[in-house]
């Protein structure tokens, strides 16, 4: 009798029955629709003491809330001997909001101190709540300001040596802004009144010359800041125009606040901190983006760099590169890609951005630093795995094609609906699989789409609406779970490779 009653209970009743209304972060939810969204995107977890929940630098696509128990937060600074304890998380506190909201890697590691009971919310549901519930968003932002902002600011070279007391003052004075792609943040020649920190997204800076030609001065993403150099140089006006290249979250630090922090010798203080800002000192690599930033600082004279800028390659991570002096156009890469996918749809096309006379960036997922597909998905169908690889969650995809239209490289394809039935969901076993003893080795498995998409309608987990699934979006999954990357593994001429951006410029001189 109880099961049918439970099935009929409204999301709000269920929300209250489970005691979620007493969890501080959820207490502010007022709308029935929001509670319904939350209830569909929620999962419960139990954790033993000592277990690592989140590792610094890795991606998590969920918001985590501690229901019971204690967890410790640790952060390892680049040159530190040991991790620094960043405080404990008690029942009612949460973590992972930065990753879930802004696609940033985790700033801290979280470890269970005692046995933990947790609840997690899918990124898409969390984003929906953040957008629709003002009080909820305010709570998240204030919590970000009080707990995470300090760690965030600390990784910016400008504030690395700032004393704790000054950093605390700074925390209270900054404001947050979220801008859509293509929005101008600051115009060349306008009065500069703030320093900006890019929390998530990407910003490019262009300078118009006297003859009207535009020159790219630089790129800013992933905790990069801009504006301080202008202030340090005593400039009161922006030297270039700053424009968002993707949906971007910014932390805005009013110039006056910085001047107050620097004290009477303001300009010298800013100059010394601004001098810290260089890619070398930041360490690490942001893939193609950093290469382009370096290229921009050296004048972008190389044709390759110019082409990559035009092709928006700045947003990409590691690229799949075809060496045209080796490629005999035998199509083995595409055929082997087809072979490892149940739906027989290749995730790779040999057409792409030709970055030089010898190299082409093949059209296969770049696993972007700024995954516009993921940011545009409202169904939680795209996520990052812990290492940052972009992954499609097959069951959540409703075939809305928003990822297809938002992908800057046109590498996402829709599977053909007429071919997609549950009848072809499982791969057909080979007759060799029937052989005794060795048969198991011939069991065909498929890296992606281990079940093919079903067409028709289904109730979506997050929206609760009946969605008409006209097909599913597919893209390169790096042959997940396989001991090889099929295209690279099967190229007879070693013409195709997934390479780090540095390898694209073997001379080591970008822009030269």
Partner 1 sequence: MALALSGQVVVGRAPQGERAYLLWTGWVALLLFVLAYAYVLRKYAHKLGYSPEFGWQVAKGAMESAQQQLGVLRERIATKALTDKGQILAAARQILRDTGCARVLRVQLAQDAGGLPLLQVARTEPLARAARWLHAHVYYGLGACLLAFLHGGAGFQTPMGVILNGLTALVLVSGVIGLLFWLAGPGWLTKAERDLSIEEAFVLDRHYQRRIVAEQAQLHSVDPQLAHEFVASGAPTADFVQRLGAACGGGQEGERRARDLLALLGQRRKVAAELQRLERVRWLMNAWRPIHIPASIALLAAIVVHVMSIWLY
The footprint of partner 1 (CB under 8 A) covers 52, 55-58, 76, 80-83, 109, 283, 324-329, 332, 335-336, 339-340, 349-351, 354, 357-358, 360, 385-387, 391, 427, 430, 432, 440-447, 480-486, 488-495
Cβ–Cβ contacts within 10 Å for residue 142, how many? 10
Q: CB of residue 4 vs partner 1: minimum separation in angstroms?
A: 33
Q: CB of residue 436 vs partner 1: minimum separation in angstroms?
A: 15
Closest to 494 measured CA to CA, from 280, 330, 294, 297: 330
Q: CB of residue 477 vs partner 1: minimum separation in angstroms?
A: 9
Q: For residues 166 and 482, which CB has a smaller minimum distance to partner 1 in the complex?
A: 482
Q: CB of residue 323 vs partner 1: minimum separation in angstroms?
A: 8
Q: For residues 54 and 262, which CB has a smaller minimum distance to partner 1 in the complex?
A: 54
Show the CA angle centred on residue 468, arms to residues 463 and 470, nearest 5°: 125
Q: CB of residue 350 vs partner 1: minimum separation in angstroms?
A: 5
Q: For residues 220 and 446, which CB has a smaller minimum distance to partner 1 in the complex?
A: 446
Q: CB of residue 482 vs partner 1: minimum separation in angstroms?
A: 5
The two three-digit tokens of residue 363, written as one number: 């059209």
Q: For residues 252 and 480, which CB has a smaller minimum distance to partner 1 in the complex?
A: 480
Q: For residues 113 and 169, which CB has a smaller minimum distance to partner 1 in the complex?
A: 113
Closest to 352 measured CA to CA, from 156, 490, 487: 487
Q: CB of residue 249 vs partner 1: minimum separation in angstroms?
A: 25
3-state secondary structure of 308: helix
Query: What stretches of 233-325 show up as alpha helix (H) in DSSP?
Result: 255-262, 266-275, 279-282, 288-297, 303-310
Q: CB of residue 481 vs partner 1: minimum separation in angstroms?
A: 4
Q: For residues 57 and 275, which CB has a smaller minimum distance to partner 1 in the complex?
A: 57
Q: CB of residue 326 vs partner 1: minimum separation in angstroms?
A: 6
Could you tell me which residues come within 8 angstroms of residue 270 by beta carbon, excluding any fewer than 6 positions away?
228, 231, 232, 258, 259, 262
With contact defined as beta carbons under 8 Å apart, do 338 and 413 qualify? no
Q: For residues 78 and 263, which CB has a smaller minimum distance to partner 1 in the complex?
A: 78
Q: CB of residue 33 vs partner 1: minimum separation in angstroms?
A: 31
Write out the DSSP string of 433-476. GGSTTTGGGG----SB-SSPPPPEEEE-TTT-SEEEE---EE--
The two three-digit tokens of residue 88, written as one number: 């404990």
Q: For residues 27 and 324, which CB has a smaller minimum distance to partner 1 in the complex?
A: 324
Please name the helix (run of DSSP H) or strand (run of DSSP E) that holds residue 336, with its range, or none: helix 332-339
Q: CB of residue 361 vs partner 1: minimum separation in angstroms?
A: 12
What does residue 115 show for φ and ψ, rounded to 5 degrees? -60, 135
Q: For residues 329 and 436, which CB has a smaller minimum distance to partner 1 in the complex?
A: 329
Write out the DSSP string of 108-166. SEEEESS-EEEEEEEHHHHHHHHHH-HHHHHHHHHHIIIIIHHHHHHTSGGGTT--HHH
| 94-95 and 248-254 beta bridge pairing | unpaired
What does residue 497 show for φ and ψ, rounded to 5 degrees? -145, 145
Q: For residues 190 and 426, which CB has a smaller minimum distance to partner 1 in the complex?
A: 426
Side-chain-side CA neighbours of 483 within 13 Å: the count stands at: 0
The two three-digit tokens of residue 250, written as one number: 């910014």
Q: For residues 83 and 275, which CB has a smaller minimum distance to partner 1 in the complex?
A: 83
Q: CB of residue 66 vs partner 1: minimum separation in angstroms?
A: 19
Q: For residues 83 and 269, which CB has a smaller minimum distance to partner 1 in the complex?
A: 83
Closest to 202 measured CA to CA, from 218, 214, 186: 218
Could you tell me which residues come within 8 angstroms of residue 119 by beta carbon, excluding any fewer than 6 positions away?
20, 23, 42, 43, 44, 45, 64, 65, 67
Tell me the β-bridge partners of 111: 52, 72
Strands (E), 301-363: 319-323, 349-354, 359-363
Burial of 194 from C-beta contacts in 10 A (0-12 / 13-18 / 19+): buried
């Amino acid at each position: 009798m109880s099961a049918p009653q439970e099935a009929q209970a409204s999301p709000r009743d269920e929300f209250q029955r489970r005691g979620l209304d007493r969890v501080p972060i959820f207490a502010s939810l007022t709308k029935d629709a929001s509670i319904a969204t939350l209830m569909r995107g929620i999962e419960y977890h139990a954790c033993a003491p000592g277990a690592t929940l989140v590792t610094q630098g890795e991606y998590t696509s969920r918001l985590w809330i501690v229901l019971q128990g204690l967890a410790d937060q640790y952060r390892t600074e680049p040159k530190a001997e040991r991790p620094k304890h960043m405080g404990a998380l008690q029942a009612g506190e949460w973590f992972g909001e930065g990753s879930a909201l802004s696609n940033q890697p985790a700033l801290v590691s979280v470890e269970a101190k005692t046995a933990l009971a947790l609840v997690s919310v899918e990124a898409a549901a969390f984003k929906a709540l953040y957008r629709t519930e003002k009080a909820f968003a305010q709570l998240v932002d204030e919590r970000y300001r009080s707990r995470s902002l300090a760690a965030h600011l600390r990784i910016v070279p400008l504030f690395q040596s700032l004393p704790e007391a000054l950093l605390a003052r700074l925390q209270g004075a900054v404001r947050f802004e979220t801008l859509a792609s293509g929005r101008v943040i600051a115009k060349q020649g306008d009065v500069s009144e703030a320093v900006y920190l890019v929390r998530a997204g990407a910003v490019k800076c262009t300078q118009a010359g006297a003859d009207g030609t535009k020159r790219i001065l630089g790129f800013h993403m992933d905790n990069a800041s801009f504006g301080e150099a202008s202030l340090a140089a005593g400039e009161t006006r922006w030297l270039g125009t700053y424009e968002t290249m993707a949906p971007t979250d910014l932390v805005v630090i009013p110039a006056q606040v910085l001047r107050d922090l620097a004290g009477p010798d303001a300009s010298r203080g800013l100059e010394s901190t601004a001098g810290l800002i260089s890619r070398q000192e930041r360490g690490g690599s942001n893939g193609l983006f950093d290469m382009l930033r370096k290229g921009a600082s050296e004048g972008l004279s190389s044709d390759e760099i110019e082409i990559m800028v035009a092709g928006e390659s700045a947003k990409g991570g590691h690229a799949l590169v075809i060496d045209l002096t080796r490629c005999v156009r035998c199509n083995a890469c595409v055929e082997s890609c087809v072979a490892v996918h149940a739906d027989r749809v290749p995730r790779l096309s040999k057409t792409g951005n030709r970055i030089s006379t010898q190299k082409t960036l093949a059209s296969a997922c770049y696993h972007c630093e700024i995954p516009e597909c993921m940011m545009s998905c409202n169904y939680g169908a795209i996520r990052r795995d812990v290492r940052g690889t972009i992954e499609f969650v097959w069951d959540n995809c409703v075939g809305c094609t928003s990822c297809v239209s938002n992908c800057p490289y046109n590498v996402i394809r829709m599977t053909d609906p007429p071919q997609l039935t549950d009848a072809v969901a499982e791969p057909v076993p080979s007759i060799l699989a029937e052989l005794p003893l060795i048969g198991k080795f011939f069991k065909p498995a498929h890296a992606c789409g281990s079940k093919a998409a079903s067409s028709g309608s289904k109730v979506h987990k997050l929206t609760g609406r009946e969605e008409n699934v006209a097909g599913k979006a597919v893209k390169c999954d790096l042959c997940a779970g396989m001991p090889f990357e099929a295209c690279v593994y099967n190229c007879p001429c070693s013409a195709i490779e997934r390479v780090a951006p540095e390898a694209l410029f073997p001379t080591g001189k970008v822009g030269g």
